[in-house]
Structure 1
Amino acid sequence: MEITYRGVVYPAQTDAMGHMTVQYYVAAFDQAFWHLIHSLGYNADWRFERKEGWADVRYEIDYRAELKVGDLFKVASMVKKVGNASIVTHHQMFSANDELCAEIQMTSVYFDLEQRTSKAIPNAIKEAAMSRIQLPSDL
């Protein structure tokens, strides 16, 4: 797994229970995903130049420990599976003390932004992703 995002919990990111709210966990995981696919060769400018991007179609999240105001955290990411037009990634969020706070498995589809349909992942990205697949036993 590689570190793909680092953050800090701000007061506005917490809920009435005093811990980081779900929308900010998801936002951190989403940002980690973008860093991961960039490392695989995806260029964010393709959203405009090629009208190609990504659409998340499934999230499965497990919350393990709370993050509170001022807590530093990091997200580590890996590729689990690569299909013709989709990729399954796994991301783990850790506190500054390396306690596992949350993890998500995401399924994302490579997407034609004009046609609003899936399309094949470019070969270079697919090959890079396949070379970095990690299985659960690798965690």
Structure 2
Amino acid sequence: MERLTYRGTVYPWHCDHMGHMNVMWYTGKFDEATWQLFGSLGLTPAWLRAAGRGMAAVEQLTEYKRELQAGDLVSVHTQLIEVKSKVLRFRHAMRRDDDGELAAVSTLTAVFLDTALRKASAFPADMEARFRALLAASPPEAALKAAA
């Protein structure tokens, strides 16, 4: 299922010498969306701290589709696209709110970590089962079409 994970505005200080939002701000907005996704899955900062676990991005591919300018209102919708015992892959789609134009797509691979050992760790079985059920309920093909 695709989830709304971020809403915001492009401010003038987000723009570079070309007059459009600089890549660092796309990454920042996608990062905020990532933490909203994790929280909605039960991977809240409080739960992660209490469990001695963390999440780490190990790969991020961002495709820039359309320029955003100061004043644009944007939303990010996110969908799980792969679940493994220690890994989540998901796709963010950033759209301009006024016309729905796709501005950027970012696909991330995140690993569940044991923070004491600093190594990848398996998700708890019940959590992994929930993630797999969410993935089965909304196949990634829908996210791929929406991001095209």
1:8-87 superposed matches below 5 A: 8-87=9-88
Amino acid paired to 2:68: L
CA 1:2–1:11 in structure 2 vs 1: closer, same or farther (change >3 Å)? same
1:138 aligns with 2:116: no
- The answer as to whether partners of 1:4 and 1:35 remain within 8 angstroms in 2 is yes
- The answer as to whether partners of 2:79 and 2:140 remain within 8 angstroms in 1 is no
Cα distance, 1:104 vs structure 2: 0.9
How many residues matched?
139
Percent sequence identity is 33
What whole-Å deviation, never above 9, does each CA across 1:36-83 have from its counterpart, x for those lacking one? 121111121134322211000001111000111111000000000001
Structure with more helix by fraction = 2
Cα distance, 1:121 vs structure 2: 1.5
Structure 2, gaps ≥5 residues long? 144-148
1:121 to 118, 123, 134: 123
What is the alpha-carbon distance in structure 1 between the residues aligned to residue 126 and residue 9 of structure 2?
Answer: 34
Indicate the residue corresponding to 1:112 in structure 2. Answer: 114
Q: CA RMSD in A?
A: 1.4
Indicate the residue corresponding to 2:93 in structure 1. Answer: 92
Structure 1, gaps ≥5 residues long? none
State the TM-score, normalized to the length of structure 1.
0.92
Cα distance, 1:24 vs structure 2: 1.0
CA 1:110–1:49 in structure 2 vs 1: closer, same or farther (change >3 Å)? same
- The answer as to whether partners of 2:58 and 2:109 remain within 8 angstroms in 1 is yes
What whole-Å deviation, never above 9, does each CA across 1:70-104 have from its counterpart, x for those lacking one? 11000000000001111100110000121000001
What is the alpha-carbon distance in structure 1 between the residues aligned to residue 88 and residue 49 of structure 2?
Answer: 21
State the TM-score, normalized to the length of structure 2.
0.87
Cα distance, 1:109 vs structure 2: 0.2
